[in-house]
Amino acid sequence: MTAAVLGIDVGGTKLACGRVTGDGRLTAVRRTATPPGEDPETVWRALADLVDAVGAEGPYDAIGIGCGGPMRWPDGVVSPLNLPAWRGFPLLERVRARFGGGRPVRIHNDAVAYALGEARWGAGRGAAHVLGMVVSTGVGGGLVLGGRPVDGATGNAGHIGHVVAEPGGPRCGCGGRGCLEAVARGPAIAADAVARGWTGDPDAQAVAAGARAGDRAALAAYARAGQALGTVLAGVVALLDLEVVSVGGGVAQAGAPLWDPLRSAFAAQARLHYTRGVRVVPAGLGPYAGVVGAAALVLPPPVPASLLESSLTRGVDDDSSRDAGKRSGA
């Protein structure tokens, strides 16, 4: 049984590292602001100092890393959009060389790590089929099916932000139009509110406060984002037959102005017998969800209760032993 592992969360605004036990408890954690500037080694030193400090708190058996994309996966060569100092930075290799000591080290897109943490210990606890999504400056997501993270051909499965919510809608950073991200990300909500006459601070949190206070422009902007989210999610749960969708990130904390239209759009569209009852809920893990999720990448999966009750149980056992072999050889 694994005693504890390290989880590393790399973001454009903060770096964090924690020591996480097999049942998802954080026993030590540190974070620091991501150093600004273009020097890759400055960022690496800041991260290495964090890992040194947390590693000194107790033994660990493996290291999991969540990092923003894009990345060359599974090689772990990262070029996070919001961290310009790292372009083609060999993060997995660096962590393995400095801190691995022969232990397994795994990396994944931060949204996949986040989804896995939510599925194991957050809003999706006890469920085997979960979408974890983060709605903030962007809209990201990761999939856990059958209790396991889904990689996809290039490590990019789960990018729900680029499912179209409004055909012909606003231009998206990906080059397409009307993507969920182009409609529901925080800056898009703020811009939409301004276009509707909002005169307060043009950021999503201020607009959320305005919406909660009854401002019409702010309410309309959040209603549009909520409808887009609910509609896309109804399609996604129909495609994937999920049990839980966990929605985190700053925008998800807007409260009723987002969640009421989200839930009603979802209810209007999710009419199949297996989609109607899907739980679409706020994320269950706190500010260190990314750290805990990264740790989950290298912790053995518990067998989800919903699988224990089905005939799939034997397949899960087989998968677990295969994965354990893979990890010890990594």
User: Which residues would be at the binding site for Zn ion (CB under 5 A)?
Assistant: 162, 172, 174, 176, 179
Based on CB atoms, which residue is closest to Zn ion, 224 or 327?
A: 224
Q: Which amino acid is at 40?
A: P
Based on CB atoms, which residue is closest to Zn ion, 174 or 267?
A: 174
Q: SS3 for 53?
A: helix
Q: Is the dihedral of CA 321, 22, 313, 73 positive or negative?
A: negative
Identify which of 248, 9, 235 has the alpha carbon closest to the alpha carbon of residue 142: 248
Separation CA 20–CA 193 (nearest Å): 41
Question: In the complex, what is the shortest distance from the CB of residue 149 to Zn ion, in angstroms, rounded to a whole number?
Answer: 22
Based on CB atoms, which residue is closest to Zn ion, 172 or 295?
A: 172
Based on CB atoms, which residue is closest to Zn ion, 163 or 211?
A: 163
Question: In the complex, what is the shortest distance from the CB of residue 179 to Zn ion, in angstroms, rounded to a whole number?
Answer: 3
**Beta sheet of 77-78, edge-to-edge order:** 71-72, 77-78, 89-90
Question: In the complex, what is the shortest distance from the CB of residue 178 to Zn ion, in angstroms, rounded to a whole number?
Answer: 8
Based on CB atoms, which residue is closest to Zn ion, 18 or 169?
A: 169
Separation CA 204–CA 148 (nearest Å): 33
CB 285 within 8 A of CB 292: yes
Question: In the complex, what is the shortest distance from the CB of residue 34 to Zn ion, in angstroms, rounded to a whole number?
Answer: 24
Question: In the complex, what is the shortest distance from the CB of residue 262 to Zn ion, in angstroms, rounded to a whole number?
Answer: 19
- Beta-bridge partners for 30: 17
